Structure 1
Amino acid sequence: MTTNLVTLNIQDNGVAQVTLNRPDKLNALNLDMFKAINKTISLIDNNKRIRVVILSGAGEDFCSGLDIKSVMSRPINAIKLLFKWLPGNRNLAQKVTNEWRKLNIPVIAAIHGRCWGGLQIALGADFRIAHQDASLSIMESKWGLIPDMAGNTQVRKLMPIDQAMKLTMTAEVLTAEQALQYNLLTEVTDDPLDRANQLALSLIEKSPDVLAAIKKLFNDNWNGSERALFAKESWYQVKILAGKNQSIATKKALGKDATYKNRGNW
């Protein structure tokens, strides 16, 4: 499926290639692009055949950030982007980051060029693989704004508070190696899209139910109590053992030919 601003290509092996497709504007985010990303995530969520997502950007950059001129020039655009019924709910700006984490499948961001305000979207991915020449920044303070696209939920897990505050306050532009040292990246390579595809191929060899359970277990319980973690570990294991994909995984581990069923409801 293709839209003007985001493309979705689902391969036969279940790997979904999602591309931010506004290269003439450095993939900067206007209101329509926010809507297109959110719609694409919904399409993926409703397709049980999809096993892994690879998120990348067309052109020279992954995503330079918010299209300030487009969004801020018309107050109605900012209202549509930031509106929510209750303070604790997610608005559209927060959904395009947080919804990736809600998917029950692994999401890999393949980053190249500038990943500035777009780092918020990349933080929604489970893995971030960047080109060695990429640059990354939490850049909102440069424009008199704070980061408000839900990326903070991940930054607080990845970084010490003083380092996170310094990067957010200064809008410092990091090299890929610096971002790796700050734990903002998973890997640095000379071909992030190829490396993302390699990782995707290794992931689809595993049970889709196992991948879903691990992602949910870690995201929901990483900073929770031990008792809650123990309970979820046991419940998810029972659910996996009761499903069809566990026996298929055993057959594959023994070298037998077998094909996984679609993942269950997680």
Structure 2
Amino acid sequence: MEQRGGTEHLTVQREGATLVLTLNRPEAKNALSLPMLVGLYDGWLEADEDDAIRSIVLTGAGGSFCAGMDLKALAGKGMEGEQYRDRMKADPDLHWKAMLRHHRPRKPVITAVEGHCVAGGTEILQGTDIRVAGESATFGLFEVKRGLFPIGGSTVRLQRQIPRTHALEMLLTGRPYSASEAQGIGLIGHVVPDGTALEKALAIAEQINACGPLAVEAVKASVYETAEMTETEGLAAELKRGWPVFDTADAKEGARAFAEKRAPVYRRA
């Protein structure tokens, strides 16, 4: 992969048309830090602004995804990366955008989870689109066990993504969930052998990258914007999103390539 900037706790790389963001603080199980949050937000913006990027893969270094908030920092012992304080002052919402609470990338986000994906890790997960986990991965919202509130969006999003009874159990017990249990309740889509989650996520990204980018982005936008609409409202909104796609050069190229039995060459036009 080609290295593309980032911060000391967030690695940015390119794998073809996929932007790979890696939470890189393995000594702390990738607990959230200022450098990580700033790097994440900058990564989402890069993907939004660069048309050559067609998908994003989010993963963690050192066999963990993310152990959530840095509790030592919360206890008053300081958080690393004080040099990024000016970024937080300039945009007080930056941490929520980084955690996908107040920002949704227009490109599909595939998560590759190994090891711990708990507390803030599970909250970030809910802002992503497609989710892959190694079979030994652990999920859960542990905040109530520490007398805290999962304020990254989980009391709103989780019940919309999995059955409410499972959402409430996860939120109110603060217990860990195995990868197989997380898949069983619909929190993740794929369970793969340990150490292969990134490989599987990149394979899914490649399938997405082969599709028409304008169509992919319109489909993602339609799914989210119609989620809370009535069926009648949603179907009307879908037409507004969908019909313009048929008028694009990419749509014509897709049909032509099918007829000519070749791979399409999409140009975002």
Which amino acid counterpart does residue 235 of structure 1 have in structure 2?
Answer: K
Query: Normalising by structure 2, what TM-score?
Result: 0.86
Counterpart of 1:143 in structure 2: which amino acid? R
What RMSD in Å do the two structures reach over aligned CA positions?
2.5
Aligned to 1:260: 266
Share of identical aligned residues, percent? 25
Distance 2:172 2:262 in 1: 54
Which runs of structure 2 are paired with 1:108-147 in the superposition (5 Å)? 108-117=110-119, 118-147=121-150
For the pair 1:4 / 2:8, whether they are aligned, the reply is yes
Which consecutive unaligned segments of at least 5 residues does structure 2 have?
none
Amino acid at match of 2:239: S
- The one-letter amino acid paired with 1:197 is L
Q: Distance in 2 between matches of 1:136 and 1:215?
A: 25
Shift of 1:142: 2.0
CA distance in 1, matches of 2:209, 2:248: 17
Query: What is the match of residue 20 of structure 1?
Result: 23
Q: How many residues align?
A: 255
Compute the TM-score of the two structures, normalised by the length of structure 1.
Answer: 0.87
Deviations 1:59-111, CA, capped at 9 Å, x for gaps: 0211111111124416999xx8xx99xxxxx9344322326962121110000
The verdict on how the C-alpha distance between 1:145 and 1:93 changes in structure 2, with shifts beyond 3 A counting, is farther
Partner of 1:87: none
Q: 1:203 aligns with which of 200, 208, 212?
A: 208
- 1:60 is aligned to 63
Quick one: structure 1 residues 10 and 224, their matched pair in 2 at CA, closer, same or farther if it must change by over 3 Å?
Answer: same
SS where residue 100 of structure 2 aligns?
helix
In structure 2, relative to structure 1, the CA distance for the partners of 1:47 and 1:167 (3 Å cut) is same
1:41 aligns with 2:63: no
| Cα displacement (A) at 1:39 | 1.8
* Residue 5 of structure 1, CA deviation: 1.2
Q: Is the CA contact (8 Å cut-off) linking 1:101 and 1:125 kept in structure 2?
A: no
2:176 is the alignment partner of 1:170: no
